[in-house]
């Protein structure tokens, strides 16, 4: 295309749409240039003013792997907050810091790894098995919770400007991906149509339709025989044609190479590249797409298909303002000083406070009374461990506050804080020099005996669970083979408890830990997750009552692996709270408070509906803080369809609200249940609104017996009848 003298090329005209500009720019590239633009390291094209660009960036809980940035709690911890607004605000801050860093780097000519604005976040896979090391990156086991938090994160990261994105989000890993890590390059996840539509796809659908996510990342594994990053069923039939996705698709790193090397679906790089791009995978994290030229020569793919992928990729860059004057692009003038700002640190503290879950508090041991605690012992391998603040895919805080540091600062003047590591995280041996194993027990017990209260900081670490290649001390390539406390941690806990002083167990981890002995014998237990840079401050605030915990578990804590199917079984039968038959240690949605909340006045707009009615079902309830402390309550609504003709979950989460109440204060909380939320997925993966009885449960927990035992509270219930013939609903 040639412009007449004095005219501006379409791709240089900010008044044109991003897609129009991308089409024009793509038309000016020769085949070799187009192919190189589809690699995650995209080289510059100086003659057209295209700068080099590295697509790969991470911001799971803060701008990752690009130096100093605010580090928020790991994703699983933020999920425990059950707070959409919090997730939105965190993502908005991440986008601001991303802009501050990106523009500073670019002005200095640094366009390297993790310096761009296309972030491969959020991870909205379903955390179906606690052995999976990357479950910490997710929002838990429930499709509804994951959908709501995923959409909130995407909207916060991308912003709402009509023309420009703050940053580009990417929903990953599409689809049906949750371990095992060592098998992911060759594993075939076999899943029924029902489980696919009921459990594994809802969050991705919400990310596309509601969140307007800019990118989707294909997974490593196959799904029912098709490589996920080259799946016609997933990428063409569902993602683009059914859901109307218009953004770009990127493969996981090396996933296209896996198609011939490990999955053996194809016989060569050219065949793998052609299969992927023909089925809608635009960008290749890796180098296999360099074989596209050979694929064109062999007639396996057309240049038009390659051009279409380039247009989708370039459209994202235009939406990010990468070809426009900075004065036109919102946030392009973000000063570097806004990175790691103090108000961002305060938000990290708020997120850490809201993430913690109080699992047990026998006889009101917590909060600790500063006036009565003169000596406190802080014990355990995670007490002064900076890494357990971070989780995986993290940035670097400018200041770390470990549990030990936070407790020392918060204990008050004159308080004596003793510290003993006690044991290493996972070591069970004793060396010639007396290190490792139980060598530190003596010091830990001595500290406990001298204390008025003991805080035992135990659990896991990112070295024990994470992505393949990252968790160096994992027994299974990032995954876990066991879910009890590793090493000699439980023995340490028993030894410290034998000193006879009040013990508070604090767990730092990204997934379920089976602490059956502790539940029976330790008076107070806090689930802290990987809390981020202000973790120690947040923990100390909860211990001393400056903050009232209100987090809820986004995953089920099973008692043992005997309660679960094999790791490689992707059927939802006997998995998660929705289908698990056995009693767990701690249920999904469970968490305690320092105050008491009462529920009353449950109202439902209609006790009878027809399957043809188009209106939503309106539900409201009054929540009152009847205790003596201010606090927050996570109000949860669950639905069951006991009379359905198809297999349905026991009950499933359909709504939640986190509300703050002063002592004596009450609020009315309202929910709307759409026809789609009332619908059930059949074995063919179709959604139907069935006639029959529907039961609604509202309270601060699940309506299960174990939650009743642990909380001593009840939930309110209401029944609705739906009459008529079954009606098929859109997915």
d(CA 31, CA 642): 58
Contact 360, 534 (CB under 8 A): no
Q: What is the SS3 assignment for 335?
A: coil
User: Is 468 annotated in the active site?
Assistant: no
Phi and psi (nearest 5°) for 719?
Answer: -120, 140
In the structure encoding, which two tokens stand for residue 662, read together? 């002063």
User: Is 252 annotated in the active site?
Assistant: yes
Instruction: Give the largest CA-CA distance in the chain.
Output: 88
d(CA 188, CA 2): 49
Find the Cα–Cα–Cα–Cα dihedral 642, 648, 649, 654, rounded to 10°.
-90
Choose the catalytic residue: 83, 271, 465, 467: 465
- With left for phi above 0 and alpha for psi between -120 and 50, is residue 138 left, alpha or beta? beta
Choose the catalytic residue: 214, 252, 424, 633: 252
d(CA 34, CA 50): 12
d(CA 391, CA 75): 9
d(CA 326, CA 369): 54
Any residues with CB less than 8 A from the CB of 129 and at least 6 apart, and which?
135, 178, 179, 564, 567, 575
d(CA 322, CA 332): 10
Any residues with CB less than 8 A from the CB of 249 and at least 6 apart, and which?
215, 216, 217, 218, 229, 235, 239, 280, 281, 282, 283, 312
In the structure encoding, which two tokens stand for residue 234, read together? 């997933």
Contact 255, 266 (CB under 8 A): no
- Beta strands 597-604 and 503-508 are unpaired
Number of neighbours of residue 305 by Cβ within 10 angstroms: 18
Q: Number of helices (H) and strands (E) in the chain: give both, helices first.
A: 20, 25
Per residue, the 3-state secondary structure of 110-162, as one string, reads CCCCCCCCECCCCECCCCCCCCCHHHHHCCCCCHHHHHHHHHHHHHHHHCCCC
In the structure encoding, which two tokens stand for residue 336, read together? 């570097």
Which long-range CB contacts under 8 A does 11-17 form with residues at least 24 apart?
11/48, 11/318, 11/323, 12/49, 12/323, 14/324, 14/325, 14/328
In the structure encoding, which two tokens stand for residue 426, read together? 């996972």
Sheet of 608-610: strands edge to edge? 608-610, 716-723, 692-699, 631-640, 652-661
Cα angle at 41 between 39 and 42, to 5 degrees?
Answer: 70
Phi and psi (nearest 5°) for 490?
Answer: -65, -35
Question: Which residues does the annotation mark as catalytic?
Answer: 252, 465
């Amino acid at each position: 295309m040639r412009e007449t003298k004095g005219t501006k090329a379409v791709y240089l005209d900010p008044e044109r749409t991003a897609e129009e500009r991308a089409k024009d720019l793509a038309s000016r590239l020769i085949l070799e240039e187009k192919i190189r633009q589809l690699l995650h390291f995209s080289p510059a094209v100086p003659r057209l003013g295209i700068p080099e660009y590295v697509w790969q960036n991470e911001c799971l809980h803060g701008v990752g792997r690009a130096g100093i940035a605010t580090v928020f709690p790991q994703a699983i911890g933020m999920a425990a907050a059950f707070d959409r607004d919090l997730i939105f605000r965190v993502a908005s801050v991440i986008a601001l810091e991303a802009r501050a860093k990106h523009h500073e780097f670019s002005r200095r000519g640094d366009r390297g790894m993790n310096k761009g604005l296309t972030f491969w976040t959020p991870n909205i896979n379903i955390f179906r098995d606690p052995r999976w090391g990357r479950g910490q990156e997710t929002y838990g086991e429930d499709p509804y919770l994951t959908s709501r938090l995923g959409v909130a994160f995407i909207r916060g990261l991308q912003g709402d400007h009509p023309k420009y994105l703050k940053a580009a989000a990417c929903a990953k890993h599409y689809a049906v991906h949750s371990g095992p890590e060592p098998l992911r390059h060759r594993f075939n996840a076999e899943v029924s149509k029902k489980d696919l539509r009921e459990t594994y796809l809802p969050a991705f659908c919400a990310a596309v339709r509601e969140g307007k996510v800019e990118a989707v990342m294909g997974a490593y594994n196959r799904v029912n025989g098709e490589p996920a990053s080259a799946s016609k069923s997933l990428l063409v039939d569902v993602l683009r044609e059914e859901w109307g996705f218009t953004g770009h698709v990127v493969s996981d790193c090396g996933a296209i190479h896996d198609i011939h090397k490990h999955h053996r679906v194809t016989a060569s790089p050219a065949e793998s590249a052609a299969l992927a791009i023909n089925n809608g995978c635009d960008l290749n994290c890796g180098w296999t797409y360099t074989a596209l030229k050979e694929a064109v020569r062999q007639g396996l793919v057309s240049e038009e298909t390659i051009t279409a992928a380039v247009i989708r990729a370039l459209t994202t860059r235009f939406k990010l303002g990468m070809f426009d004057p900075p004065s036109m692009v919102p946030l392009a003038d973000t000063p570097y000083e806004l990175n790691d700002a103090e108000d961002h640190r305060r938000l990290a503290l708020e997120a850490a406070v809201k993430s913690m879950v109080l699992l047990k508090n026998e006889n009101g041991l917590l909060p600790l009374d500063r006036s009565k605690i003169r000596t406190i012992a802080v014990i355990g391998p995670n007490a002064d461990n900076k890494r357990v603040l971070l989780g995986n895919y993290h940035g670097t805080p400018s200041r770390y506050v470990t549990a030990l540091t936070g407790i020392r600062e918060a204990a008050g003047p004159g308080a004596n804080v003793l510290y003993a590591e006690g044991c290493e995280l996972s070591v069970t041996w004793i060396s010639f020099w007396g290190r490792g194993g139980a060598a530190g027990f003596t010091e830990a017990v001595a500290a406990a005996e001298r204390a008025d209260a003991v805080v035992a900081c135990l659990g896991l670490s990112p070295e024990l669970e994470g992505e393949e290649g990252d968790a160096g001390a994992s027994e299974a390539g990032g995954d876990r083979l066991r879910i009890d406390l590793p090493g000699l941690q439980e023995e340490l806990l028993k030894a410290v408890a034998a000193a006879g002083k009040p013990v508070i167990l604090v767990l730092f981890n990204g997934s379920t830990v089976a602490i059956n002995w502790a539940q029976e014998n330790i008076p107070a237990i806090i689930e802290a997750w990987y809390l981020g840079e202000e973790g120690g401050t947040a923990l100390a605030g909860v211990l001393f009552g400056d903050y009232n915990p209100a987090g809820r578990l986004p995953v089920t804590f099973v008692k043992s692996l005997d309660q679960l199917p094999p790791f490689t079984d992707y059927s939802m039968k006997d998995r998660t709270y929705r289908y698990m038959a056995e009693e767990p240690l701690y249920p999904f949605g469970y968490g305690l408070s320092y105050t008491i909340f009462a529920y009353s006045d449950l109202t439902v707009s209609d006790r009878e509906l027809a399957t043809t009615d188009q209106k939503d079902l309106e539900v409201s309830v009054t929540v009152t803080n009847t205790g003596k402390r201010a606090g927050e309550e996570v109000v949860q609504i669950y639905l069951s369809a006991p009379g359905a003709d198809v297999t349905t979950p026991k009950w499933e989460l359909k709504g939640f609200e986190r509300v703050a109440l002063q002592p004596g204060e009450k609020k009315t909380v309202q929910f709307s249940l759409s026809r789609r939320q009332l619908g059930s997925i059949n074995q063919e993966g179709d959604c139907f609104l069935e006639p029959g009885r529907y039961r609604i449960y509202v309270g601060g927990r699940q309506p299960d017996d174990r939650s009743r035992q642990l909380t001593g509270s009840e939930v309110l219930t209401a029944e609705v009848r739906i009459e008529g013939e079954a009606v098929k609903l859109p997915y």
